């Protein structure tokens, strides 16, 4: 891959937010290709370098009731050496959609010999592992993992660690273009190769999102939700640096990846608020910023790690299932709520957020924007206990019937599933 070096960055404490990087070539050749001088404007990342990251990466695919053809297309796009972890929250009644998903994935794995783990978000064994490890906040009143995309991502993240992977990336399961999925994963790998930090995050900004407008194709740049999150996140950053900025372009990046070390150390907001909250929380935790009302004795920011956030502009158009206007409005409110309720959010910005939501009739005057549930970082749980319990639940159900040991890399080319499932 040939990719632009970031031209600018914003630094807040230990956090660096790099400006958007363009991709110039999806495949820039192997190591042995013509020796090129290092260029400060554009970086070449060889196919070997990309593959070496892919071998250490798990890709989590959250699923809730998507069409099987779409899920299969997404699996087609994920590079072979990545471990795939499908976390499904699809209904099991009246039709057992999860069973159908498992059947389709198992069949797909017969042809590709890809490593795929399939778990259901409501698996009682995994819920019991969370409970035993002391991470009960993720459980609902039935002692099962709560609903929500973030909750599925948290489950995927801890499984990625359990399977010994160093990086964890996310791709939505409702993507129509396998080629786009393939590109996102390569861009995660290129980002990690360039960043070389244990506290690194790579976020994708889609180049375009095709829509039909007046009977012809229109390639829109920004979705409604990203436009809002980006604008208010930039106001937040600008407030604390004193300089207006447009650095944030990926406030809602569903497609993003992190080092597992960083993923284990950060808090998560529920549902679709998860991606915007990444920025808010990273600034809260590592930004060395005092919020309004904080005194100097407030807990110090962690300055021991350089937290790098890369934003890469993908080239393929992004086409996914359309889920309706109400869903987008909910997503905007959830995202903005994470900014609104942050201790870093100044009163003036709170007012702007309220006015914005009132203008769009989401919030009535005098009503308060509800705070989002926040889960504390995964490194607070007893990982060994979780590993023992969860390993007994997750079995590779292909040729070898191996139980996956904590910290081990699953090497069997097979589909795996939870034992409680009926695959």
Q: Which residues bind Mg ion (CB under 5 A)?
A: 174, 320
Choosing among ligand GDD, Mg ion, none, which partner's interface includes residue 383 (Cβ < 5 to 8 Å by kind)? none
What does the per-residue mask of binding to ligand GDD show for 272-291, with x meaning CB under 6 A? x--x----------------
- Residue 177 contacts ligand GDD per CB under 6 A: no
Report the residue number, 148 or 265, with the smaller CB distance to ligand GDD. Answer: 148
What does the per-residue mask of binding to ligand GDD show for 131-170, with x meaning CB under 6 A? ----------------xxx--x------------------
Looking at residues 62 to 81 of the shown chain, list those that interact with ligand GDD (rule: CB under 6 A). 62-64, 66
What are the angstrom distances between the C-alpha of 6 and each of 29, 309, 321? 21, 11, 32
Size of interface with ligand GDD, in residues (CB under 6 A):
26
- Residue 172 contacts ligand GDD per CB under 6 A: yes
Tokens linked to 299? 């807990």
- Residue 60 contacts ligand GDD per CB under 6 A: no
Choosing among ligand GDD, Mg ion, none, which partner's interface includes residue 63 (Cβ < 5 to 8 Å by kind)? ligand GDD
CB of 101 to Mg ion, least distance (A): 17
CB of 117 to ligand GDD, least distance (A): 13
Choosing among Mg ion, ligand GDD, none, which partner's interface includes residue 64 (Cβ < 5 to 8 Å by kind)? ligand GDD
Choosing among ligand GDD, Mg ion, none, which partner's interface includes residue 314 (Cβ < 5 to 8 Å by kind)? none
CB of 164 to ligand GDD, least distance (A): 22
CB of 167 to Mg ion, least distance (A): 23
Choosing among ligand GDD, Mg ion, none, which partner's interface includes residue 182 (Cβ < 5 to 8 Å by kind)? none
Q: Which residues contact ligand GDD (rule: CB under 6 A)? A: 62-64, 66, 87-89, 121, 147-149, 152, 172-174, 223, 225-226, 252, 254, 272, 275, 320-321, 323, 327
């Amino acid at each position: 891959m040939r990719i632009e070096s970031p031209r600018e960055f914003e630094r807040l404490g230990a956090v660096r937010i790099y400006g958007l990087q363009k991709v110039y070539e999806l495949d820039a050749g192997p190591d042995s290709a013509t020796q090129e001088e290092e260029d400060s404007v554009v970086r070449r990342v060889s196919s070997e370098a990309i593959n070496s990251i892919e071998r250490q990466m798990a890709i989590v695919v959250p699923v809730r009731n998507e069409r099987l053809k779409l899920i299969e297309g997404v699996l087609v796009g994920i590079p072979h050496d990545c471990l795939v972890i499908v976390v499904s929250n699809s209904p099991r009644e009246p039709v057992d959609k999860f069973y159908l998903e498992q059947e389709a994935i198992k069949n797909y794995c017969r042809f590709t010999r890809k490593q795929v783990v399939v778990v259901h978000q409501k698996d009682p064994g995994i819920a019991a592992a969370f409970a035993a490890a002391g991470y009960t906040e993720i459980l609902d009143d039935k002692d099962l993992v709560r609903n929500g995309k973030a909750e599925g991502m948290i489950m995927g993240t801890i499984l990625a660690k359990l399977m010994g992977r160093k990086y964890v990336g996310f791709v939505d399961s409702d993507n129509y273009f396998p080629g786009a999925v393939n590109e996102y994963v390569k861009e995660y790998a290129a980002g990690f190769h360039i960043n070389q930090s244990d506290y690194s995050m790579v976020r994708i900004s889609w180049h375009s999102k095709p829509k039909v407008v007046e009977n012809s194709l229109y390639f829109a740049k920004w979705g409604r939700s990203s436009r809002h999150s980006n604008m208010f996140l930039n106001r937040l950053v600008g407030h604390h640096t004193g300089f207006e900025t447009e650095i944030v372009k990926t406030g809602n990046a569903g497609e993003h990846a992190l080092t597992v070390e960083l993923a284990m150390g950060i808090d998560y907001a529920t549902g679709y608020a998860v991606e915007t909250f990444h920025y808010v929380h990273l600034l809260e935790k590592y930004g060395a910023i005092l919020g309004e009302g904080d005194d100097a004795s407030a807990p110090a920011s962690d300055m021991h790690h350089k937290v790098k956030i890369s934003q890469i502009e993908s080239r393929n158009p992004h086409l996914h299932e359309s889920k309706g206007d109400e869903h987008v409005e909910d997503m905007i409110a959830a995202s903005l709520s994470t900014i609104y309720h942050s201790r870093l959010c100044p009163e003036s910005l709170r007012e702007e957020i309220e006015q914005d939501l009132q203008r769009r009739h989401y919030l009535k005057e005098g009503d308060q924007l509800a705070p989002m549930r926040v889960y504390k970082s995964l490194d607070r749980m007893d990982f060994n206990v979780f590993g023992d319990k969860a390993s007994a639940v997750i079995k590779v159900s292909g040729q070898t019937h191996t139980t996956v040991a904590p910290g081990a890399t699953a090497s069997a080319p097979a589909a795996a599933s939870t034992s409680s499932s009926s695959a």
